[in-house]
Amino acid sequence: MAFCTECGKSIADGAKFCDNCGAAVTTRNFESTNQRKTVYEGEVHKCPNCGETLKSFNANCPACGYELRSAKSTDSVGELTLRLEQIESTRVVEKPRSIYKAAYSESIVSKTDEQKATLIRTFPIPNTKEDLFEFIILAKSNVDSDLYVNDIHNSARVVSDAWKSKFEQAYQKAKLTFGTDSDFSNVQSLYMQLYGGIKKGKRKMWFFILLFFAIFFGGTAILLITSGDTTPQVNVKEVARLEAVVEEIESNLEDGKYKLALTLAESLEYGGYDGVAEREWNVKREYLIEQILDEATENGVILERTSP
């Protein structure tokens, strides 16, 4: 059924004028308003050899095995790359005049790299699966894992941080968009490679730090042992001397020479450089003195300590 475009009243089939307002009837009036329209979005990619519909990331046709070539870079990746190249073309490189300025220039962030980092962080992430995958590959390839070994703030680190942040955003979007598809395993693999590389670099740094300290302290110990009159040797000699005194004390106790044994026990003082050994010998001295006094008393000999 058609309706008048002027007054909205219905028009009888075959009428040339509206019965209500007299307006001329046009072909637009007879277009059905009840017909359902079908709208197609996106592009359907088909094999140029057999016409089979292709899914994203296909390198060969699943029906005939035809090798797919001449794949063009996505518009999103191409646009970002082009804009980054435009910013890079404005870079002004200044040669430092001294060694100090050369070292200082490595720790500052250039204006060009600040602009690149800002563009990367604010650039919109694509929506389609194939474009999103290409974007993730681009982001990962621009993250330098070696820069995360130390907390250094410079131009390279700022740009790498921007790519790393964008990679994380794209990964989360891919996870929400097609996280249940088998194709997501490719994205997951890239994610593990990136963060695995960063962790590996940090572990490598700690390994070299521990190796350095092991070599340093090991070398110091060797030098001390092999030197002519070293502290370890002094301690060894002192322990041997004290053990000889203990043997003499025990011999005097067996012979009933309590006073001589007490005098030797009171002189039992550690003269080395090991604090732990000194405390152990102090305890042992007190134990021997008490033992001598107890045995002397049991045998009717009254002794008194000459030192507290």
Statement: residue 105 has pLDDT above 80:
no
Rounded mean pLDDT of the chain?
77
Tell me, what's the pLDDT at 71?
45
Q: Which run of H or of E encompasses 2? A: strand 2-3
Each domain of the chain, given as residue ranges in start order, spans 112-209, 231-298
Region 211-236: mean pLDDT is 64
Statement: residue 72 has pLDDT above 60:
no
Region 250-267: mean pLDDT is 88
Q: Which residue has the higher pLDDT, 37 or 271?
A: 271
Statement: residue 228 has pLDDT above 60:
no
Q: Which residue has the higher pLDDT, 176 or 218?
A: 176
Region 264-292: mean pLDDT is 84
Tell me, what's the pLDDT at 39?
65
Of 84, 76, 145, the C-alpha closest to 113 is: 84
SS3 per-residue string spanning 154-193 = CHHHHHHHHHHHHHHHHHHHHHHHHCCCCCHHHHHHHHHH
The rounded distance, in Å, linking the Cα atoms of 64 and 233 is 83
Per-residue pLDDT tens over the stretch 187-198? 888 888 888 877
pLDDT range class, residue 70, cuts 50, 70, 90: very low
Following CA atoms 199, 204, 206, 210 in sequence, which dihedral angle do they give, to the nearest 10 degrees? Answer: 160
Tell me, what's the pLDDT at 34?
47
The token pair that represents 46 in the structure block: 């088909």
pLDDT range class, residue 225, cuts 50, 70, 90: low
pLDDT range class, residue 296, cuts 50, 70, 90: confident
Strand partners, 249: none
Q: Are 93 and 99 in contact (CB under 8 A)?
A: no
Tell me, what's the pLDDT at 42?
61
Q: Which residue has the higher pLDDT, 38 or 88?
A: 88
Tell me, what's the pLDDT at 100?
47
pLDDT range class, residue 167, cuts 50, 70, 90: very high
